[in-house]
Structure 1
Amino acid sequence: MLILQGITYTHPNRDLLFDNLSFTINQQDKIALIGNNGTGKSTLLKIIAGEILPAKGAVKTDSRPYYVPQIFGQYNDVTVAQALQIEDKLHALKDILDGNMTDNNLAVLNDDWTIEERCAEALAHWHLKDIDLHQKMESLSGGQKTKIFLAGIIIHQPEIVLLDEPSNHLDIAARAILYDYIQSTTDTLIVVSHDRMLLNLLDTVYELSGKGITVYGGNYEFYAEQKQIEENAFEQDLKSKEKALRKAKETEREAMERKQKLDARGKKKQEKAGLPTISMNTFRNRAEKSTAQMKDVHAEKIDSLSDAVDKMRKQLPDIDKIKIGLNNSGLHKGKILIDAKDINYKYGEEQLWENSLTFLITSGERIAIKGLNGSGKTTLIKIMLGEFEPAMGKIDCAANKAIYIDQDYSLIDDRLTIYEQAQKFNYDHLQEHEVKNRLNRFLFTKAHWDKSCAALSGGEKMRLMLCCLTMSDQAPDIIVLDEPTNNLDIQNIEILTRAINEYKGTLLVVSHDEYFLKQIDVEAELVVS
């Protein structure tokens, strides 16, 4: 059992991340921990793992959790054995087998005589047989690093496992092994992930937000359905309040018009009656006082409704605030854009692909480029974009403009500010206020315009990239997406999905995210091996 009591965390600058989180996770529960970027999911996992301490509160557990971190190069300076925290045991075992059976070596080994066998089994299970436990982590690919930590589950045999974006960098084959583990294990799991296929394998969703933890008793699809019901009810409530606000303003206008007409009639009657000036002034003062009182009554109601509407609009999900509006390719559907015949590429004297590639890509198609990690998917893209020449065969490309979008959103220049980046794509010479209006549409308000692009998260870079594409003078004939969801949370994946589904040109996608491929209606595959 895992119990969190009153967990509060503040950043080193004293900004509050989350406050007074309390919940219990029972043995063999499988929990998806989700929430927008910045809500503190990874931080909460590190607190549960004991890697960082909360400002307040306590974590109580029956056994020590095993933590699989999100990989971003932080372990490059250590060996595989050090990253897995087994180096001391392996060293003690070697010493003992060499005849150096000291009390210290026996204490370090702690009767774990099968540690080497489990290491070999774990590495083989994750197709890492050629990995030496004493080699540096920096020599491994991102997928291999992730698999090293996943192999640690077999080595350490924990009862509680914490997984932070475990499918990042994994190809389809490795994801299948991961999915099988999640389905079959009796370990207690807490998983942070944007991989919705993975999230659907978990029993319960814990949503972390500014309100704390909200529990949904089902997998991700159940959660999404419940959220949709909540959002529909919220939108109806917002529309009702907006309607009431419009009605209140209309009622005020009609009441004031009636009052003005009555006052005007009263004044004419008084003037006809030839009342003295002092009486006329009294009637006028009464009319003005009555008008002011009426205005106050209506203003109070309108202000109250207006405040309620403003607060609700601020609570709208970001995806509902964004107006995308990507332009579409002007090419007619079915025009041949890429014609490749028996192409291959060489690194040194060796061919990249066992069988040379022959294919046609026509305008309007949506194609997934598939293959294991290292099979040459990115190389093929660079050949299609004209950056590489094939070593053999022939390729013709009739696309006038292609946009390449990678997982790091390299279209964004980190040396520029957000406003300068938008201006870089302002080929239609929009006025300054129009550029800033576009930025506002993608949630970049005045407070963001002078912010450096280098400080943006993956989701923010994606939104800025989409904003830039809306300002281009010519819609791309082809958009190429190379692992575009790797650094995005679920909300930003949905924003990207909506944008891609608005685009009517040709789409080439490299992605291991099958859920994403299904959502953007990919209809064909080009497999490399």
Structure 2
Amino acid sequence: MSTFPTSITCTSLSFAWPDGTAVFDDLQVAFGPGRTGLVGVNGSGKSTLLKLIAGELTPADGTVRLAGEVGYLPQSVTLDTGLRVDEALGVAATRAALHAIEAGDATEEHFDVVGDDWDVEERTLATLGELGLGHIDLDRTVGEVSGGESVLLRLAALLLLRPDVLLLDEPTNNLDLYARRRLYAAVEAWSGVMVVVSHDRELLDLVDQIADLRSGEVTWYGGNFSAYEEALAVEQDAAERMVRVAESDMKKQKRELVDAQVTLARRKRYGQKMFDQKREPRAVMRVRKRTAQVSAGKYRILHEEKLADAKERLDDAVDAVRDDDEIRIDLPYTAVPPGRNVLTLLDLELKYGARVDGGFDLRGPERIALIGRNGAGKTTLLRTISGELDAVSGEARAHVPMRFLPQRLDVLDDELSVVANVARFAPAATNNRIRARLARFLFKGAKADQLAATLSGGERFRAALAALMLAEPAPQLLMLDEPTNNLDMASVRQLTSALESYEGALIVASHDMPFLESLGITRTLLLEGGELKEIGREAVGYPS
């Protein structure tokens, strides 16, 4: 690595999408040494900022200055499945030249290719080993590794380049528990400049500082994500107190303005009475009247200005309080009585090899966590239960109304509005009833009329969840596949609050352990080696 201090400096940065939607306007931000967690609500511009820094996008105005080489891991990693692993890692040419020299070919060109990188294979294998990919042969093709392994391969390629600056955009998406642990270790070991965008709070608890991107500006907080949440809670408590103080002051100023108006009206009546009774010469009375009018005007203006100042302070105080609306819904028809048989799996053999030997029953409002490595068959199991896939043999039978929310969120029709999408699942419900219930999912007024295609990631998830949870008949078994992928922290909180209101049975496939813990899981099922088995809470964790 280079010996000079590494940093990222964005000066007067402006960027807008082709349709004119502004993302940044005169953004000023700099990232220094250490690990920075970049957080913010969906649509705040986190991924866009990383792309601007990486050179994937060009700003409309302003500059991005980098000290050192940059490595960038995008949110969606796509590798050519026909590539050999060493090609995907960027070491194929060096490796081939090294093998030629070892075989006795002393051509100068081979030495030029190798340069000082004589330990390329050892370094590559060591990097793969640190990421849990030591079992992958460098001569294999990318098509032979899993989706999660391909993400780690891309990270390995970046680490082998030894960049000064590392940009990671949602790196734990699609990684199982085992792969996440390897990535966490790589992040902890990083000594350069790192900026990571993630909704994974375990990952964010490894960073040194948090950069909160909100309304086109960055606010800095020292420490990891837990420290950030504590600091934010203190800030919000203070902001809410300021709102209460400002509201009290505004009421006081309103009362004083009314009192002033009453006093002025009384003075005016008294002055008019004196004028009518002509107790003093007319000229003196006129002077007194003009003086009183000037004095009254000043008095009224003084109180109106005080009221305007109080209103401005209240507006500022309200702006400082974050609008973190939560989904609060009442879904009584989703309730399942304890002991009610909800789901039966019997000698179930799935496509692609997984199976459930013997019988498995889900009873009452149980909350099941479904965990396992990538490729173990979790999605296949949920799709088979939902009826999307046929079982090879055996039986999967739901005894109550059921809904399934896949990772793809493809339950929505992009050409329809949010209201129309929900209406597809509840055709007997009136438009007013649907809108009233959608408001509890934070789709109010014109928001409910937005086309699904125009929704942000978090909004799309809320709309899909609303469509399923407001369906008729009400679902008494809800199955979710990796629901927190691509959701910001606010959306995860909204999802958690929605599921708190849900009274039916729940099966959630997820690698996000803090999220699973927040749901009040009653049983954990592990799909491993093609078999589904129940494990205790103490067995849930990261294997070594």
Instruction: Calculate the TM-score normalised by the size of structure 1.
Output: 0.80
- Map 1:335-350 → 2, pairs under 5 A: 335-340=339-344, 342-347=346-351
**Separation in structure 1 between the aligned mates of residue 506 and residue 391 of structure 2, nearest angstrom:** 22
Give the fraction of aligned pairs with identical amino acids, expressed as a percent: 28
How far did 1:369 drift?
1.1
Moved more, 48-57 or 144-153: 48-57
How far did 1:252 drift?
4.0
Query: Where does residue 41 of structure 1 map in the other structure?
Result: 46
Query: Where does residue 495 of structure 2 map in the other structure?
Result: 496
Query: Where does residue 141 of structure 2 map in the other structure?
Result: 135
Query: Where does residue 352 of structure 1 map in the other structure?
Result: 354
How far did 1:180 drift?
2.9
How far did 1:461 drift?
0.7
Query: Where does residue 412 of structure 2 map in the other structure?
Result: 412
Alpha carbons 2:403, 2:468 under 8 Å: kept: no
Alpha carbons 1:123, 1:131 under 8 Å: kept: no
Give CA deviations for 1:197-245 in whole Å, capped at 9, x if unaligned: 1111233323333464433222211111011111111111122222333
Distance 1:298 1:407, change over 3 A: farther
Alpha carbons 2:329, 2:440 under 8 Å: kept: no
How far did 1:91 drift?
4.5
Distance 1:309 1:379, change over 3 A: same
**Separation in structure 2 between the aligned mates of residue 429 and residue 464 of structure 1, nearest angstrom:** 18
**Separation in structure 2 between the aligned mates of residue 285 and residue 410 of structure 1, nearest angstrom:** 75
How far did 1:514 drift?
0.6
**Separation in structure 1 between the aligned mates of residue 358 and residue 417 of structure 2, nearest angstrom:** 44
Say whether residues 1:88 and 2:87 are aligned partners: no
Distance 1:386 1:285, change over 3 A: farther
SS in 2 for 1:497: helix
Moved more, 239-248 or 283-292: 283-292
Say whether residues 1:144 and 2:156 are aligned partners: no
**Separation in structure 2 between the aligned mates of residue 470 and residue 360 of structure 1, nearest angstrom:** 20
Distance 1:106 1:422, change over 3 A: same
Query: Where does residue 113 of structure 2 map in the other structure?
Result: 108
**Separation in structure 1 between the aligned mates of residue 395 and residue 526 of structure 2, nearest angstrom:** 18
- Map 1:36-435 → 2, pairs under 5 A: 36-46=41-51, 49=54, 55-61=62-68, 64-73=69-78, 80-93=85-98, 96=101, 101-123=106-128, 125-127=131-133, 129-130=135-136, 135=141, 141-152=146-157, 155-157=160-162, 160-184=165-189, 186=191, 189-210=194-215, 212-253=217-258, 256=261, 297-320=302-325, 322=326, 324-340=328-344, 342-347=346-351, 351-353=353-355, 355-356=357-358, 358-363=360-365, 365-388=366-389, 390-400=391-401, 402-424=402-424, 427-431=428-432, 435=435
Alpha carbons 1:336, 1:362 under 8 Å: kept: yes
SS in 1 for 2:67: strand
Distance 1:288 1:311, change over 3 A: same
Q: AA paired with 1:420? A: A
Alpha carbons 2:171, 2:198 under 8 Å: kept: yes
SS in 2 for 1:240: helix
SS in 2 for 1:516: helix
Alpha carbons 1:120, 1:129 under 8 Å: kept: no
Moved more, 378-387 or 125-134: 125-134
Query: Where does residue 3 of structure 1 map in the other structure?
Result: 7
Alpha carbons 1:407, 1:487 under 8 Å: kept: no
Query: Where does residue 278 of structure 1 map in the other structure?
Result: none
SS in 1 for 2:412: coil
How far did 1:2 drift?
1.5
Q: AA paired with 2:28? A: N
**Separation in structure 2 between the aligned mates of residue 39 and residue 506 of structure 1, nearest angstrom:** 34
**Separation in structure 2 between the aligned mates of residue 463 and residue 445 of structure 1, nearest angstrom:** 16
Alpha carbons 2:77, 2:150 under 8 Å: kept: no
Moved more, 249-258 or 225-234: 249-258
SS in 2 for 1:344: strand
Alpha carbons 2:168, 2:197 under 8 Å: kept: yes
Alpha carbons 1:439, 1:467 under 8 Å: kept: no
**Separation in structure 2 between the aligned mates of residue 440 and residue 396 of structure 1, nearest angstrom:** 32
How far did 1:168 drift?
1.1
Query: Where does residue 539 of structure 2 map in the other structure?
Result: none
Distance 1:351 1:75, change over 3 A: closer
SS in 2 for 1:30: strand
**Separation in structure 1 between the aligned mates of residue 319 and residue 499 of structure 2, nearest angstrom:** 26
Alpha carbons 1:319, 1:494 under 8 Å: kept: no
Query: Where does residue 457 of structure 2 map in the other structure?
Result: 458
How far did 1:515 drift?
1.1
Give CA deviations for 1:464-502 in whole Å, capped at 9, x if unaligned: 335546755554322222101111122222222222223
Distance 1:463 1:156, change over 3 A: same
Distance 1:16 1:74, change over 3 A: farther
Distance 1:222 1:517, change over 3 A: same
How far did 1:22 drift?
2.7
Give CA deviations for 1:244-276 in whole Å, capped at 9, x if unaligned: 333433444565567668878998999999xxx
How far did 1:169 drift?
0.7
SS in 2 for 1:409: coil
**Separation in structure 1 between the aligned mates of residue 494 and residue 482 of structure 2, nearest angstrom:** 15
Question: Which residue, 10, 13, 29 being the options, matches 1:21?
Answer: 29
Alpha carbons 2:327, 2:498 under 8 Å: kept: no
Distance 1:297 1:313, change over 3 A: same
**Separation in structure 1 between the aligned mates of residue 70 and residue 429 of structure 2, nearest angstrom:** 55
Alpha carbons 2:350, 2:392 under 8 Å: kept: yes
Q: AA paired with 1:86? A: V
How far did 1:508 drift?
1.6
Q: How many residues align?
A: 516
Q: AA paired with 2:378? A: K
How far did 1:443 drift?
5.8
Alpha carbons 2:40, 2:212 under 8 Å: kept: yes
Distance 1:23 1:152, change over 3 A: closer
Unaligned runs of 5+ in 2: 279-285, 529-544
Instruction: Calculate the TM-score normalised by the size of structure 2.
Output: 0.78
SS in 1 for 2:90: coil
SS in 2 for 1:146: helix
**Separation in structure 1 between the aligned mates of residue 106 and residue 479 of structure 2, nearest angstrom:** 60
**Separation in structure 2 between the aligned mates of residue 473 and residue 302 of structure 1, nearest angstrom:** 51
Say whether residues 1:518 and 2:517 are aligned partners: yes
Distance 1:82 1:318, change over 3 A: farther
Alpha carbons 1:368, 1:526 under 8 Å: kept: yes
